[in-house]
Amino acid sequence: MGIIGLGVALPALVLAAIGVVLTLRIGTALDAQSDRYNLYMAKQVAKAFEEELQGHLRDGVTAAEIVARGGADRRVMLQALESGALPGETAAYVPLNELSDYFLLLVEGQPVIYRAGIEDQGGRRFAGVILRDTQGQVVGAGGWWTDPHAFLREHVRSVVEERLANDERLYGGIESRRHISVMLVAPDGAEVARVRAPAAHEHASEAPLQGPFEGYAVRVAPTITAPILLTRRFVWIELGFIGIMAVLILLATFFGLRYTVRQIEIARLKSSFLSNVSHELKTPIALIRLAVETLEMGRVSSPEESDKFLRRISRETMRLNQLVENILDFARLEAGQRAFRFAQVDLAEVVRETADSYRLRIEDQGFTLKLDLPEGLPPVRGDGSALAQCLLNLLDNAVKYSREEKEIRVGLTQRDGMVGLSVADRGIGIATRDHRRIFEKFVRLEDGLVHDVKGAGLGLSLVQQIVRAHGGRIEVHSAPHEGSTFTLWIPRVAAADAGAVEPEARTGS
């Protein structure tokens, strides 16, 4: 059965594993593509800020370029530069002989002059362009001390929503740009400004800014409406679906195999039951027939021997009758047709009558039956004949499974509103692991001396069903070679119900 289950589950699990691997690879590829696009956009934003700065410088330095071509001195140059400065900016002119300490940044083929790592007392940085005379010779650089923090914050929206939006060369189109968050980050990691909020817990790509913005960075991440997030959710849903399907297939295989094994086991038990019942029926019939033939042919030498054969006939007749009754009662219980006539029952009286009717068979096989029946026990609510049948089955098992120590004790006790009927023997005992199995229908244990005793496998199952129908329970205390004690706990009659007549009840109703 394990090979069949493996043949069913293994292909499904292999397909599920392939699905998981492919889905994860697709998800990884999409994440990598998204990260590459975010990095590309971060570089494009950084480049756009450099162009924005160059445009600002070119627009503001026009007056200074005019006076430079006329050969004006430094004071006139500064006045011309001041006219193009924005609020918060301070004009600065750097002569040619001082340009060696400055750096050059090419933006769209045009140079931007800046000084790296040098700031004024207000934290501003210098940015400017080359100035030439009438012969085209470089005379210096003119520009402004600008606060990069303020410049970036002021121009971030125009750069992202206008300059980038109008760039037809940009990969991805305007629709893709609407689903990204652009954040400017200061050298200390603080946020300077942003356009659109990023999705929570998403990895972002960064590109550093150059020139006078050195140390600042552009961080680009997908927004909550980005298609990549929807795709990731779909990937995780797909993985969850594959996982659920794999678990369902395993559970279906497990329960299918379990059900199949159980059906095979029941079929085997039924076959064993038929074999055992046939043996159980043939044995007493053969003994009865032998005893009757012996008596009919007069092959007895004394009245005592004749009485012995009569007792054997009586004992085997009782045994045969009990077996037939067990089979019929079990069938009625299974079909829900067994009727119980509940009434107030004196359990001590039931025990005495049953023990008297069974005593002949017990004593004939050398057993000692001891009764412990305290006075004053309350009556129980039950069917007297059904409870007597339970006691007969327990006594029959005690006789079957006892060997050298042939002693059986039957006692009554009360506890927690219930009366307990216990049958104890000093027989072969039952292993703890089998305490529940012995109550299953058709089950007979296969180990030790138990296997040597024939039976139908219905007695204890029948006892359990009858006790449950009475609203009671059955307890087992047993260990190998230490004997067994079965206790039936039956609810006693409440004082308020004393004298009430109860209707007939049926199993299954």
- In this structure, is residue 153 part of a structural domain? yes
Residues 485 and 364 both lie in one domain: yes
- Nearest to 284, CA basis, from 255, 246, 314: 314
Q: How high is the pLDDT of residue 399?
A: 87
Residues 80 and 208 both lie in one domain: yes
pLDDT at 498 over 60: no
Residues 261 and 316 both lie in one domain: no
pLDDT in tens, 52-90: 888 888 888 888 888 888 887 888 888 888 888 888 888
Residues making up the chain, counted from first to last: 509
- In this structure, is residue 289 part of a structural domain? no
Residues 268 and 313 both lie in one domain: no
Domain holding 356, by residue range, is: 303-506
pTM: 0.51
Q: Please compute Rg for the chain using Cα positions.
A: 50
Distance CA 279, CA 488 (A): 29
Distance CA 140, CA 130 (A): 6
- In this structure, is residue 298 part of a structural domain? no
Highest-confidence segment of 19-23, 40-44, 105-109: 40-44
Residues 237 and 373 both lie in one domain: no
pLDDT in tens, 293-351: 777 777 777 777 787 778 778 777 877 776 777 677 666 666 665 677 888 999 999 99
Residues 1 and 63 both lie in one domain: yes
Instruction: Please check whether residue 483 is in contact with residue 350, taking contact to mean a CB–CB distance below 8 angstroms.
Output: no
Q: Which long-range contacts (CB under 8 A, 24 or more apart) does 106-110 make?
A: 107/50, 107/51, 107/53, 107/54, 107/211, 108/51, 108/54, 110/54, 110/58
pLDDT at 407 over 80: yes
pLDDT in tens, 246-262: 888 888 888 888 888 77
